[in-house]
């Protein structure tokens, strides 16, 4: 009975039940293929028939699609960077993302809490500009200023931001989406000053804003920023003046001066510092302040030479030049140029040139007056530096220590940068005096160590590298070559004098390039936790397609 029901359920073997492609009746199933009429759509022997796809929505993902084995879309030749930088310092994260195109940057992870209406765009942009203004006014490089501004904006939830930094202008643009109008704001830096204590406080504020575990609201950030602006300098004015004198005295000892020369150079630098403060209080530009500050050490040196006392009078003038040479501005200018900020670098180099010309004018006026009174300086005396390794190492440390105080550094960083400067001078002395290597490559190698150790110290403390670098290059500044060239020019030996000044400029550039190369070397070989090779710091802005 069951078999009968099953037979009834089966479809009849009628002509309608046959497929149009089944062999017609009477055809032998084992006949050769050429004897059987087959369809061109028939499945070849041995091939597995494809299982038909069940009916589903037209927007559903096809069953044959796999995201891992999908066909490749358009990808640039170098590939898209993979950024997993959550555990790295904010400086590295922001530098990496700044050098990415806007459309491939990672989506910002919200660090600080927002209100229900979203981020207050105007206030975030204003806070970003105020932080960038303090950093730029304190001498920070343009790339680091942009990185700090970018970190603040992303931490408060603003994506698609583009900060721009020039010598006196900061601007930032935020575009909420591709269809919304961009919002732009800018700020002008009116005054610049050297206060590395304030610079370190701003870096701590940016680090706290960028940290996930620290809650810094906009109101709290504004309050801390106001406290940073109102902060008093860590050292009183009399200490700064005394430090300028000790710096000049230590520099004169470094180039062969004795006890009398030390005190003469210190007194000259103190008088120059007070005259410069007096000019600044009267509103004179910085150029004239440097002209006036260079005169007292030169006058005391000429006076000692005219008295006939057996002392190295040239060391007095050289020590005064060490206290005035704008090494900080030169390092920042070359760093901006090497990282692709050419407008800012050009403006800073022009500033260095004006200040250097001011120093030259002040010294040349005094030397010319001294020659009219039959002063007979010996130019060769400048290059006769006596080898006193222990005394010179101690003098270099005093020079760096006082230079750090003049830069208004935090007390905790003064001793570190003093040791860094001693390492620089020992390296230079071993290469130049003991090894006989010319001064330019010896200076570049010593400055490279300064930049390397300074960058490592700054990474360890998540701070700016300037407090660990700027004062340490003090003993390497070309004071002797500068004075030697000025003395030759005053004696109307123009070609030789210009050659010596060119050598001084080469040494100054070697310092700046060495510091930058040491810093880049530390970033090149330092492993970023949790980051792939593509997520590391990308190359600087380029003008060629390498």
Answer whether residue 12 is part of any domain: no
Using the 3D structure, point to which of 232, 250, 276 is the last residue of a domain.
232
Cα separation of 256 and 262, whole Å?
10
Specify whether 215 is located in the same domain as 188.
yes
For the stretch 324-353, pLDDT in tens is 888 778 888 888 888 788 888 898 889 888
Asked if the model's pLDDT at residue 146 lies above 50, the reply is: yes
Specify whether 357 is located in the same domain as 471.
yes
Asked if the model's pLDDT at residue 502 lies above 50, the reply is: yes
Answer whether residue 150 is part of any domain: yes
Answer whether residue 499 is part of any domain: yes
Using the 3D structure, point to which of 197, 232, 267 is the last residue of a domain.
232
How does residue 139 score in pLDDT terms, banded at 50, 70 and 90?
confident
Asked if the model's pLDDT at residue 507 lies above 70, the reply is: yes
Long-range (24+ apart) CB contacts under 8 A made by 310-313 are 311/257, 311/258, 311/260, 311/261, 312/255, 312/256, 312/257, 312/258, 312/261, 312/381, 313/261, 313/377, 313/381
Tell me the whole-structure pTM to 2 decimals.
Answer: 0.74
- If DSSP states are collapsed to H, E and C, what string results for 294-338? HHHHHHHHHHHHHHCCCCCCHHHHHHHHHCCCCHHHHHHHHHHHH
Asked if the model's pLDDT at residue 73 lies above 90, the reply is: no
Average pLDDT over residues 214-242: 86
pLDDT more than 70, % of the chain: 72
Cα separation of 208 and 384, whole Å?
52
Specify whether 324 is located in the same domain as 190.
no
Specify whether 197 is located in the same domain as 274.
no
| Structural domain boundaries, residue 400 | 237-525
Asked if the model's pLDDT at residue 407 lies above 60, the reply is: yes
Asked if the model's pLDDT at residue 397 lies above 90, the reply is: yes
Residues 6+ apart with CB under 8 A from 258: 311, 312
Residues 6+ apart with CB under 8 A from 408: 194, 195, 196, 197, 198, 233, 234, 235
Question: How many Cβ atoms from other residues are within 10 Å of residue 12's Cβ?
Answer: 7
Using the 3D structure, point to which of 205, 232, 259 is the last residue of a domain.
232
Backbone angles phi, psi at 473, to 5 degrees: -85, 0
Q: How far is CA 494 from CA 85, 417, 438, 498, 499, in A?
A: 56, 38, 23, 6, 9
Average pLDDT over residues 493-509: 87
Specify whether 340 is located in the same domain as 473.
yes
Average pLDDT over residues 175-185: 81
Name the DSSP letter for residue 103: G
Cα separation of 321 and 479, whole Å?
6
Answer whether residue 504 is part of any domain: yes
Bridge partners (DSSP) of residue 185 are: 172
Asked if the model's pLDDT at residue 313 lies above 50, the reply is: yes
Specify whether 181 is located in the same domain as 247.
no
Specify whether 209 is located in the same domain as 338.
no
Specify whether 204 is located in the same domain as 292.
no
Q: Which of 22-31, 227-236, 384-393, 423-432 has the lowest mean pLDDT?
A: 22-31
Answer whether residue 36 is part of any domain: no
Answer whether residue 458 is part of any domain: yes
pLDDT at residue 425, rounded to an integer: 92
Specify whether 205 is located in the same domain as 244.
no
Q: How many domains does the chain have?
A: 2
- If DSSP states are collapsed to H, E and C, what string results for 521-540? HHHHHCCCCCCCHHHCCCCC
If 0-12 CB within 10 Å is exposed, 13-18 middle and 19+ buried, where does residue 514 land?
buried
pLDDT at residue 83, rounded to an integer: 42
For the stretch 117-134, pLDDT in tens is 556 888 889 999 999 999
Specify whether 187 is located in the same domain as 112.
yes
Specify whether 409 is located in the same domain as 323.
yes
Mean pLDDT of the chain: 77
Answer whether residue 492 is part of any domain: yes
Specify whether 310 is located in the same domain as 367.
yes
Answer whether residue 9 is part of any domain: no
Cα separation of 95 and 459, whole Å?
14
Asked if the model's pLDDT at residue 267 lies above 90, the reply is: yes
């Amino acid at each position: 009975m069951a078999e009968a029901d099953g037979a009834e359920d089966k479809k009849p073997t009628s002509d309608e039940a046959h497929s149009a492609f089944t062999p017609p009746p009477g055809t032998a199933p084992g006949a050769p293929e050429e004897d059987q009429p087959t369809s061109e759509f028939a499945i070849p022997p041995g091939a597995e028939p494809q299982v038909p796809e069940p009916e589903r929505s037209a927007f559903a993902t096809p069953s044959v699609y796999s995201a891992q084995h999908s066909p490749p879309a358009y990808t640039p030749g170098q590939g898209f960077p993979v950024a997993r930088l959550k555990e790295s310092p904010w400086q590295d994260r922001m530098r990496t993302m700044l050098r990415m195109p806007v459309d491939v940057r990672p989506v910002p992870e919200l660090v600080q809490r927002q209100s229900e209406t979203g981020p207050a765009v105007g206030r975030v942009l204003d806070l970003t500009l105020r932080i960038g203004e303090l950093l730029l006014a304190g001498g920070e490089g343009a790339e680091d200023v942009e990185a700090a501004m970018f970190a603040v904006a992303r931490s408060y939830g603003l994506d698609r931001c583009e900060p721009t930094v020039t010598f006196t202008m900061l601007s930032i643009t935020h575009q909420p989406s591709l269809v919304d109008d961009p919002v732009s704001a800018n700020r002008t830096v009116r005054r610049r000053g050297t206060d590395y204590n304030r610079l370190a406080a701003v870096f701590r504020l940016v680090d706290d804003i960028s940290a996930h575990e620290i809650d810094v609201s906009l109101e709290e950030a504004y309050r801390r920023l106001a406290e940073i602006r109102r902060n008093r300098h860590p050292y009183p004015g009399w200490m700064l003046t005394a430090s300028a004198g000790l710096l000049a005295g230590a520099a004169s000892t470094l180039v062969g001066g004795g006890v009398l020369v030390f005190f003469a150079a210190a007194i000259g630098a103190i008088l120059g510092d007070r005259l410069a403060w007096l000019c600044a209080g009267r509103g004179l530009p910085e150029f004239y302040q440097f002209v006036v500050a260079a005169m007292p050490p030169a006058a005391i040196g000429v006076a000692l030479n005219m008295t006939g006392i057996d002392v190295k009078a040239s060391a007095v003038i050289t020590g005064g030049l060490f206290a005035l040479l704008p090494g900080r501005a030169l390092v920042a200018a070359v760093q901006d140029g090497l990282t692709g900020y050419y407008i800012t670098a050009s403006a800073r180099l022009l500033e260095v040139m004006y200040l250097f010309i001011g120093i030259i004018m002040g010294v040349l006026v005094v030397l010319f007056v001294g020659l009219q009174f039959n002063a007979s300086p010996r130019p060769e005396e400048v290059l006769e530096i006596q080898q006193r390794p222990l005394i010179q190492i101690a003098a270099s440390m005093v020079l760096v220590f006082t230079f750090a105080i003049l830069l208004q550094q935090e007390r905790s960083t003064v001793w570190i940068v003093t040791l860094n400067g001693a390492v620089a001078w020992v390296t230079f002395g071993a290469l130049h005096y003991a090894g006989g290597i010319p001064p330019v490559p010896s200076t570049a190698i010593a400055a490279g160590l300064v930049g390397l150790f300074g960058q490592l110290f700054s990474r360890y403390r998540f701070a700016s590298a300037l407090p660990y670098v700027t004062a340490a290059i003090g003993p390497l500044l070309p004071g002797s070559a500068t004075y030697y060239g000025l003395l030759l020019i005053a004696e109307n030996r123009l070609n030789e004098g210009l050659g010596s000044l060119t050598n001084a400029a080469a040494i100054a550039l070697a310092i700046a390039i060495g510091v930058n190369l040491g810093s880049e070397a530390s970033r090149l070989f330092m492993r970023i936790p949790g980051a792939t090779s593509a997520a590391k710091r990308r190359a600087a802005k380029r003008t060629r397609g390498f």
